[in-house]
Amino acid sequence: MKSLKHIEERKIVPLVAMISAGKSHLLNVLYNIDFLECKAGIGTKFVNIIRYNPEIKEPRFYHLLLEKKGDKYIFYKDISKREIVGNREIIEENKRINKMLAEEKDVVYENIFYMTEINESPFITDKQYLLTHDLCDIPGSSEYQEKPKDPLIKIPIDNNASLDALVSALGIDIKKPGYKENEENETDDDEKELEEPKNFGFENNDLKKKEQKTEDDIYYNVHLQNNTYINEIFSKIKDYIDGGIIMLSSEKYYFKENFEMIAMLRKVIGKTIDNFLIILNKIDLSENPEEDIEKCQGLFMKYFPSCKAFNYF
């Protein structure tokens, strides 16, 4: 085990998103760095854990090795491989690794974990939080091609989630979106759909089964598959997750796969998704930002109506 060096254990705050949602760009902005490669299509092909370390003089980048002990994975610094030091060198190494992994047919997921140590973080003022939590850039899931045609549900928003630590550390101002009652597009047909189904002397087995469920339908309809980023990566970091950031792009937030991804995340980590921020990114590209924000909120309640698999509130 001479090639292993134990590293300090910290909590991990992953960025969860589809391809091209802007995860790497957000981390570059938050940390005031330019290490993470940002480009159209599939950019990031490896897991990059960003760690604040004020004791170093220059940023460092190195490979991690994983060892499974019981049900938990332990992370070590791989001292058999060269440590990359300095901004320009790290940028080039990121590009090289992404290119190499993009050309590989079979990905060995245990081998795609890396760590970037930075010595400064001017925009995140809560340094104590950074000394206990590492933000993590993770490859995005595949794109979804069809746009849902179902009507959206409008909901009131109540920001009661205990996100104080993460929100404070990132310096994000969470605002309550407005809620409009008596929408003009409500029809008698919409009201009829909400009526309790009539029982004509026969037991409604489908309804009875639905009432017995404690999760949302999308949770039951998605299935975990081996050799997928969301399953293979999150199964290895699930014991370290403490909060996170779910990112949707204003260009693709209506794709159903965004919400299937959240349901799969819930299944992989095997616990409630708590203290996560939801960011609708690339809002500057929207022709009507307020409308897109409202529609995005409605989609969360459409796919997670029981708030069990994922509680938007």
- Per-residue DSSP letters for the chain? -TTEEE----EEEEEEEBTTS-HHHHHHHHHT---S---SSS---SEEEEEE-TT-SS-EEEEEEEEEETTEEEEEEETTSPPEESHHHHHHHHHHHHHHHHH-SS--GGG-EEEEEES--SS---HHHHTTEEEEE-PPBPP--PPP-SPP--------S--HHHHHHHT----PPP--SS-TT--HHHHHHTSPPP-SSS--HHHHHHHH--S-HHHHH----TT-HHHHHHHHHGGGB--EEEEEETTTTT-HHHHHHHHHHHHHH-S---SEEEEEE-GGG-SSHHHHHHHHHHHHHHH-TTSSS----
Better pLDDT: 94 or 227: 94
d(CA 277, CA 279): 6
Each residue's pLDDT tens digit, 130-151: 999 999 998 876 533 334 444 4
Contact 167, 77 (CB under 8 A): no
- Which residues, 6 or more positions from 293, have their beta carbon under 8 angstroms from its beta carbon? 177, 280, 283
Q: How many CB atoms lie within 10 A of CB 97?
A: 19
Please, which pLDDT band fits residue 179 given cuts at 50, 70 and 90? very low
In this prediction the pTM is: 0.77
Q: What percent of the chain has pLDDT over 90?
A: 48
Each residue's pLDDT tens digit, 181-194: 444 444 444 433 33
Count up the domains in the chain and report the number. Answer: 1
Contact 144, 78 (CB under 8 A): no
pLDDT at 171: 63
Domain range enclosing 131? 1-313
pLDDT at 172: 62
Closest of 142, 136, 102 to residue 230, by C-alpha: 142
